[in-house]
Each structure stands twice: as structure tokens, then as C-alpha cells.
Chain A
Amino acid sequence: MDTNRRNFLKVAGISTLAGLGGTAVVDRLVAGAGMAQASTSTSHGTEQAGTAAKAGATRYGMVIDIKKFYQDPSLGEKAVKACHQAHNVPNFPDKRDEIKWIWMTKFENAFPEKPNLYQDEATANNQLPILCNHCDNPPCVRACPTKATFRGDDGIVGMDYHRCIGCRFCMAACPYGSRSFNWRDPRSFVANLNRDYPARTRGVVEKCNFCVERVQIGQLPACVEAVSESKALIFGNLNDPNSELRKILKEKHTIQRNPSLGTLPSVFYIV
């Protein structure tokens, strides 16, 4: 090959410049990708913060006064009955088929993370109502492959039975056992059909819907209405600092079911 020192230096110089420029371009690209990554992580952060990002919007919640349910066991019965009547919830004779929307249970079952060796008598002998927590960060919604369950703009975690394929991922994801599967056709197990509300079919998962069909037309949930005189159940907007709900939360010490999971439940209990 015919070359001399002058040409060799020219080629080497240009190659060095191109190399430096090339690395600069590569650096830019890497930095750009890094920035993109950073921006996704921030958006993820706000999503996780949940409440802060959604402030201002409606987020429905409930306060349950456990003491009132201990004092008057008929309250729980009334609330459960009103709910089941309003939503055509079937009553299966076999416990394995049970469909749960709102139901009465012992304190240690509702709050297994708060065991007490020396339980007081009222707690030991009575039951309290539990229902879907309508979490602000609902794990069931993340698990659902068809988006049949979703968090509405008002904070209600709803079910769209048209889309439910019955995979039961949501039941596995829900840490509160609030979801039930229809193993059998429930229609014939509903005592008094409410003809203004649909029933369900075999093969779908169902749960408490916070009476979305009543709340969105300005009524109170059926269970809250059934025990309205006792004020044992209070329903309202958690994002409105002047709501009755928030006033109670400000006055009284309340607990949520297993808050350490980070699901941000919207149902609070006055112990």
C-alpha cells in the first residue's frame, strides 16, 4: 500500500475526531434513555402515592362503628338483609358456594393482625360487618386480565360482569376475601328477586359494589340506609374535608383492615 506520513496523520486525525464525536452521540443517546427511564419511575411514584395524585376528585369511603354493632346485633342483620335484597345476592345452603357482599364476622377474623390473648367480652361474643374495602390501590384490579374489575373515578371498585371470564385471579389477589365465585347458577337461590337490579350468572366473580347504582343517583348505600338511625355506618366522600365522614375520622381513632399491605382501604372501623 502506498502511503506517506502526511496522509497517515490526516486519516488518523479524522478517525479520532469521528470517534470522539461518535462517543458524544452515544452518550447523548444513553442519557436520553436514562431520562426516559427516570420519567417512568416518577410517574410510577405518583401512581403509588395514589391519594395525593387523586386529591380533589371524589373518593367514597365508609366508617363502621364496631361498638354499635356489638351493642345491637340486629343492626348487622338489617344491613346484610338490605344489601342482599337490593342486589339479588343468593343464599346457598352449602357454605362452599357462599356469595359474600357484606357479612358479619368475628373481630379476630376481620383483623387477624391484631390478636389479643385477653379479649374483652363484647369483642369475644359479638360480630362486626365487613365488606369490600374499595381500596385506593386495589390489587384485584391489577390482577384482572380483562379489566372486568376496575376503579372508578369516584373511588368505587366496580365489577363489569359482562367482561368477567371467571378466572378468579382477583379472588387470589384480594387480601380481604371480599370476592366470591358463582360456582352454580345463583338465580334460583335468590329468595325475593329485586326486578330493578340484575342477578348474576354461573362463572362470574361478584362482590360489594358500594351500591354504585344508588350512590351515583344521589342515594345512600342500602346497608347504610338500613341502619341510618343508629349511625353505625357512615358513608361519604373521603376527599371532601368537610364531609361528615371526615369529621368522624378527625374526632375518633379508626383502624383499617391490614393497612400494612399498602392497599389503602376506604373502609374505616371505630373500635
Chain B
Amino acid sequence: MYDSGKIIPGLIIFVLFITIPIWYNRGGASTAPKIELPKDAKTCVLPAAEIRAEHMKLLNVWRDEVLRDGKRAAITIEGKQYPKSLMLTCMKCHTSKKQFCDKCHTYASVEPYCWDCHLAPVE
């Protein structure tokens, strides 16, 4: 091979350069964030696995039912009433946006626009 002295180091530099995201974030990024769960509430409106995966869809369904269809009747789970509301239901148990919502959202690099209008509890 001609010019192997230049090509091989060049290739090594190129591979290292394009794999920056992998080795630069090695270690730190793989640990899942630890979120703070509410202390006084044991149950959520859905089982943990479901709410974790589907909470954004549930919030959209609630929004459309409440706002557009006027179906504001609270949902009852184990005798307890929960209004279909982010601010009046979710954030009443999860009282810290920073310790609950933001931790995963920052980790997953999603920026939901909920808080442009909706008010997070005072911390």
C-alpha cells in the first residue's frame, strides 16, 4: 500500500472522531436516573410499567376528553377519586417536578411543552 504511514493513522483518527459520542459518554450515560417517588401515595392511576410507558398518551386522552368533549367526571380507583388533570391529579402526589418529571425527561432528552402553560408545584 502506498502512503500507509499516512492512511492508517488517518483512518484511526477518523474512527475515533466519529465514535466520540460512544467513548465520551462511556459509563455516565448508561445509569438510569433515580426518580423520587411520592412518600404518602402508594398507587398511581395505572400500574407502574404502564404509566411509565404510556403517561404521555394518557395525558393527551385526558386533555381531549376534558377540554373538547367536556367529560370531566373523575376516575375512581380503589374508592379514591382522581380528576383527569395533570395539575390536579399527577402533581398533587408527585409534588416535585425537578425530582420526578425532569430527571427522566432530561436523561431521555425530551422537552415536553406542558410547563409552558401548566404550573408546576412550588418547590
Taking Cβ atoms with an 8 Å cutoff, the residues of A that contact B are 88, 150, 152-154, 158, 160-162, 193, 195-201, 212-213, 216-217
Contact = CB atoms under 8 A, between A and B. Distances in A.
B119 to A, nearest CB: 5
Nearest to A185: B116
Interface of B: 63, 67-68, 70, 72, 87-88, 113, 116-119, 121-122
A201 B116 CA distance: 6
Given A195-B87, A196-B87, A196-B88, A160 B67 contact: yes
A195 B68 CA distance: 22
Contacts of B113: 201
Contacts of B63: 162
Contact of A195 (B70, B72, B117, B119): B119
24 contacts: A88-B119, A150-B68, A152-B70, A153-B70, A154-B70, A158-B67, A158-B68, A160-B67, A160-B68, A161-B117, A162-B67, A193-B119, A195-B119, A196-B87, A196-B88, A198-B87, A198-B119, A199-B118, A200-B117, A201-B116, A201-B117, A213-B72, A216-B72, A217-B72
B85 to A, nearest CB: 9
A152 B71 CA distance: 11
Contacts of A200: 117
Contacts of B68: 150, 152, 158, 160
Contacts of B122: 195
Nearest to A217: B72
Contacts, number: 37
Nearest to A159: B67
Contact of B70 (A160, A199, A212): A212
Contacts of B119: 88, 193, 195, 198-199
Nearest to A215: B70
A198 B70 contact: no
A199 B115 CA distance: 9
Given A158-B67, A160-B67, A198 B117 contact: yes
Contacts of A158: 67-68
A198 B88 contact: no
B91 to A, nearest CB: 9
A216 B70 contact: yes
Nearest to A158: B67
Contacts of B70: 152-154, 212, 216
B67 A195 contact: no
- CB-CB nearest 7 A-B residue pairs: A201-B116, A198-B117, A198-B118, A216-B72, A201-B117, A195-B119, A160-B67
Contacts of B88: 196
Nearest to B116: A201
Contacts of B121: 195
B18 to A, nearest CB: 38
A195 B88 CA distance: 9
Contacts of A152: 68, 70
Contacts of A195: 87, 119, 121-122
Nearest to A193: B119
Contacts of A198: 87, 117-119
Nearest to A218: B72
Given A161-B117, A216-B72, 19 more contacts: A152-B68, A152-B70, A158-B67, A158-B68, A160-B67, A162-B63, A193-B119, A195-B87, A195-B121, A196-B88, A197-B87, A198-B117, A199-B117, A199-B118, A200-B117, A201-B116, A212-B70, A213-B72, A216-B70
